[in-house]
Amino acid sequence: MKMPHRLIPVISLTLLCGTTIADNHNHAQPSQSGNAYTQKVTREVMSMGQPVKEAPGYSLELVKYTIPPRTKLPVHIHPGMQTERVEAGTLTFSVVQGTAFITRRDGSKESINAGQSTRLNVGDQLTEPNGMVHYGENETDNPVVLISASLMEEGKPKAILVKP
CATH number, domain with residue 123: 2.60.120.10
Report helix, strand or coil for 1.
coil
pLDDT of residue 16: 38
pLDDT of residue 41: 86
Q: What is the pTM of this model?
A: 0.74
Q: Are strands 125-128 and 117-120 parallel, antiparallel or unpaired?
A: unpaired
- Tell me which residue range forms the domain holding 39: 2-161
In the chain (164 residues long), the average pLDDT of successive 10-residue segments reads 39 34 32 46 90 86 96 93 97 98 98 98 97 96 97 90 83
Strand partners, 95: 134
pLDDT of residue 123: 98
- C-alpha to C-alpha distances, 40 to 10, 46, 69, 83, nearest whole angstrom: 12, 19, 9, 21
Q: What total number of domains does the chain contain?
A: 1
pLDDT of residue 39: 52
Residues 19, 12, 88, 97, Cα dihedral to 10° = 60
